[in-house]
Structure 1
C-alpha cells in the first residue's frame, strides 16, 4: 500500500508486475550500508534498482571504505567503489550473482 498505491499510484497488479520484472534495464538507485572498521569495509544491507535517480546513501558508511555484500556461500567477495558504485554494481551483476543463486527460476534455471 505504502510504496505501490500511495507513492507510485499503481494498482496492485501494476505494482506486482514492476516488483517481479527481472529484465535488466534497471540501474542502482538505492543503497544502504554500515561501516565495519575492523575490516575497513562498508557492508551493504539493502539495494534497490529501478529507473529513478540514485538516492543518498542510507546508514552511515565510511567514504574511505569500499562497499561489499555480507559473506555469502558461493559468492566471491566483490569490492564496489564507494563513489559511483552504480558503475559496477549493476542489476545484471546483482541478478546473476545474488538473486539467481537463491532463486534459480529468475534466470530460467530449474530448481532441483
Structure 2
C-alpha cells in the first residue's frame, strides 16, 4: 500500500525463488496495475523508473494498518467466494475493485483517483 495515496494491489502465486527478484516482480506488477487503472503510460514509466519508490518498512500509523487490514479482509472474502463458486479470481478485477474502495482519509475518497492525481502531469 502506498502511504500517500493508499494505492494497493494483490500479488498472488509467488514462490520462494520469486522473492530473490521481488523488486522487479513488484515494479512490473505495479506498472501493469497502473496501466489497468488507465494511468498515463508516460507517467507510469517515469514513476516506475524512479528507483526510490520501493521501500519496505513497518508502520505504526494506525490508519494505514487499518486500511491494509481491510484490504486483506476484502481480498480474502472475494477469493473465498470465488473458490466456493469454482471460479478463479481475476486479480486484475480484484485490484481494480480494491482501488475503487472508499478510503475516508483521502480527499479523493478512492485510492485509484488519489494515485492518478499524484501521477498526473
TM-score grouping bracket, smaller chain normalisation: under 0.3
Q: Give the TM-score, by structure 2 length.
A: 0.25
Structure with more of its chain in helix, by fraction: 2
By relative contact order (CA 8 Å, sep 6+), the higher-ranking structure is 2
Larger CA Rg, structure 1 vs 2: 1
